[in-house]
Structure 1
Amino acid sequence: MAAGCQRETPPGSSPQDLMLTKAPASAIQPVTTGRNLSSGRYREVDIVIMRPAGVTEPIPVCVALHPRLGGAKWFLEVGVPDMLTKVVQAGADPFAVVAVDGGNWVGNKDDAPQRMLMEDLPSWLDYHDLASTPFSCLGIAEGGAGALNLARVPGMSAVAAISPNLYEQWSAANDSLVFADQADWQKREPLRHTTEYANLSVGVWCGTEDKEFIGPARAFAENTKAVATFAPGGHDNAYWTRVLPEALKFVGGVL
């Protein structure tokens, strides 16, 4: 994996000024990390930008949403930069994968990751000479459900959901402690909005030993006519790492 490039806060600057100095294109690294102040989340968050090795020109973006217990740097830990480079070397058009810290991707009134993605992220991408509107999104577990929610906003071309945390019934959703109430679940649950994915390229992956989420994943794939892969695996890093290259290839195929 290529080494990252951490942007430090200039002396005397505020958190809002985290990216005052900009590297020339020739100095752009395959991995860039930093911290930005998010108005949507009311806190500083990590941002990780992963480009294919050797590509420095402006390129489209796939935004990546981590599992609940991870963070933006989770994608570095599982080797996404190398996976991305190999996908592009195999023939896909170059694109970047950009991850940010999201916590609970459903969020609440005082911490809104989806608002961060829609209102904060575009300017962060533009600063780094990337397309300010992502063409696709990819998510894992709770991030998979978050990616499906984000894809409901007009403008996306593709979404890849790996082991998405979906809930067919309110009783299961309530037990997850993710949603504020039943109305919140009905508003945000992708299984209750399947017609909204009709004009998207949708990919779904889920391990057959993922007892809690394999059923809802199958139901979502069937109702959206998604490209779906259900193979042996659980709700864990081993399965997610195994299928991530397929998901990256899938989103890259819409460019």
Structure 2
Amino acid sequence: MLLGGLGLGAGLVAGCQQEAPPGASPQDLLLTKAPTSATQPVTTGRNLSAGRYREVDIVIIRPAGVTEPIPVCVALHPRLGGAKAFLDLGVPDMLTKVVQAGADPFAVVAVDGGNWVGNKDDDPQRMLMEDLPAWLDYHDLASTPFSCIGISEGGAGALNLARVPGFSAVAAISPKLYEEWPDAQGSGTFAEQTQWQKREPLRHSTEYANLAVGVWCGTEDKDFIAPSRAFAENTKAVKASFTPGGHDNAYWSAVLPEALKFVGGVL
């Protein structure tokens, strides 16, 4: 755990440990970079996160046939499924088609984040800010993501992450937003009201003024269609799509290609 906090965790637990060359010291091994994953369209592994105090899955999705270093869109999953949920939703094929249709190449990188709010012993936002850059660099990707995309709890998490300066675009799909504390409290997501006030995107609409914001939500998603519309209106979202669908994989698979095209359009 300490090694992860010191920035060595990415090299030690990125899922491709290697043997030391003959006569090499342990320090030599720490300084030796393992073969990269740049030739693989999909790479999965386990990394030790200092921010989350545990090992987490990482999933790296590149467009087929693209091997050079490319920008990164961070993907935040719904509560169930973890980082690999984006494989189940078909993102590898979607991303390849988006790039083949003319978008500049970029990678989609997902990591396990729980409910994306966390608590004192589990800070997914710290993982994204402090752990993820080294993991991306390890895999020959741009260490600073240009955009983020999220679904459900991950949609709210992506909107919260995008408040950090440096992002160009954010795509929120069926984001779990709460206009009032009683609704947020009933969700079981937040430990206390002050945490909700700090993390709730609806309470920070002015912070998205210089950001390309896209919001998608199904019209049958009864709990979250109204706050999604409110957020899109308050932030003057560049893209606001409210079409038939619920809070489920069928809707998310249907709109993900458009969301990927949206974030790719800012490159």
Same-fold status (TM-score > 0.5): yes
Matched, 1:23 2:31: no
Counterparts of 1:44-63 in structure 2, within 5 Å, are 44-63=55-74
Report the Cα distance in structure 1 between the residues aligned to 2:133 and 2:255, rounded to whole angstroms. 28
Query: Is the 8 Å Cα contact of residues 10 and 20 (structure 1) preserved in structure 2?
Result: no
Counterparts of 1:206-245 in structure 2, within 5 Å, are 206-226=217-237, 227-245=239-257
Change (3 A) 1:109 1:24: closer
Matched, 1:191 2:202: yes
Report the Cα distance in structure 1 between the residues aligned to 2:264 and 2:37, rounded to whole angstroms. 26
What amino acid is the match of 1:236?
D
Counterparts of 1:159-174 in structure 2, within 5 Å, are 159-174=170-185
Report the Cα distance in structure 2 between the residues aligned to 1:197 and 1:53, rounded to whole angstroms. 32
What is the TM-score of this pair, normalised by structure 1? 0.92
How far off its partner does 1:11 sit? 6.9
How far off its partner does 1:104 sit? 1.4
Counterparts of 1:79-90 in structure 2, within 5 Å, are 79-90=90-101
Report the Cα distance in structure 1 between the residues aligned to 2:127 and 2:107, rounded to whole angstroms. 19
- Mark the runs of 5 or more structure 2 residues left unpaired by the alignment: 1-13, 21-25
Report the Cα distance in structure 2 between the residues aligned to 1:10 and 1:165, rounded to whole angstroms. 42
What amino acid is the match of 1:240?
W
Matched, 1:127 2:138: yes
CA shift digits 1:175-204 (9 cap, x unpaired): 011111111111110000000000000000
SS at structure 2 position matched to 1:47: strand
CA shift digits 1:151-170 (9 cap, x unpaired): 00000000000000000000
Matched, 1:252 2:252: no
SS at structure 2 position matched to 1:21: coil
SS at structure 2 position matched to 1:193: helix
How far off its partner does 1:9 sit? 4.2
Report the Cα distance in structure 2 between the residues aligned to 1:34 and 1:220, rounded to whole angstroms. 35
The runs of at least 4 consecutive aligned structure 1 residues that moved more than 3 Å come to 6-13
Identity percentage over the alignment? 81
What amino acid is the match of 1:190?
P
Query: Is the 8 Å Cα contact of residues 16 and 34 (structure 2) preserved in structure 1?
Result: no
SS at structure 1 position matched to 2:83: coil
Residue of structure 2 in register with 1:36 after alignment: 47
Residue of structure 2 in register with 1:97 after alignment: 108
Q: CA RMSD in A?
A: 1.7
Matched residues, number: 244
CA shift digits 1:20-65 (9 cap, x unpaired): 522375xx11001111000000011110000000000010000000
SS at structure 2 position matched to 1:36: strand
Report the Cα distance in structure 1 between the residues aligned to 2:256 and 2:143, rounded to whole angstroms. 24
SS at structure 1 position matched to 2:207: helix
What is the TM-score of this pair, normalised by structure 2? 0.88
The partner residue of 1:70 within 81, 88, 96 is 81
Query: Is the 8 Å Cα contact of residues 62 and 95 (structure 1) preserved in structure 2?
Result: yes
Query: Is the 8 Å Cα contact of residues 71 and 103 (structure 1) preserved in structure 2?
Result: yes
Report the Cα distance in structure 1 between the residues aligned to 2:70 and 2:157, rounded to whole angstroms. 23
Report the Cα distance in structure 2 between the residues aligned to 1:188 and 1:201, rounded to whole angstroms. 19
Query: Is the 8 Å Cα contact of residues 53 and 85 (structure 1) preserved in structure 2?
Result: yes
What amino acid is the match of 1:167?
Y
SS at structure 2 position matched to 1:117: helix
Report the Cα distance in structure 2 between the residues aligned to 1:113 and 1:183, rounded to whole angstroms. 17
Report the Cα distance in structure 1 between the residues aligned to 2:170 and 2:119, rounded to whole angstroms. 23
Residue of structure 1 in register with 2:7 after alignment: none
Query: Is the 8 Å Cα contact of residues 210 and 233 (structure 1) preserved in structure 2?
Result: yes
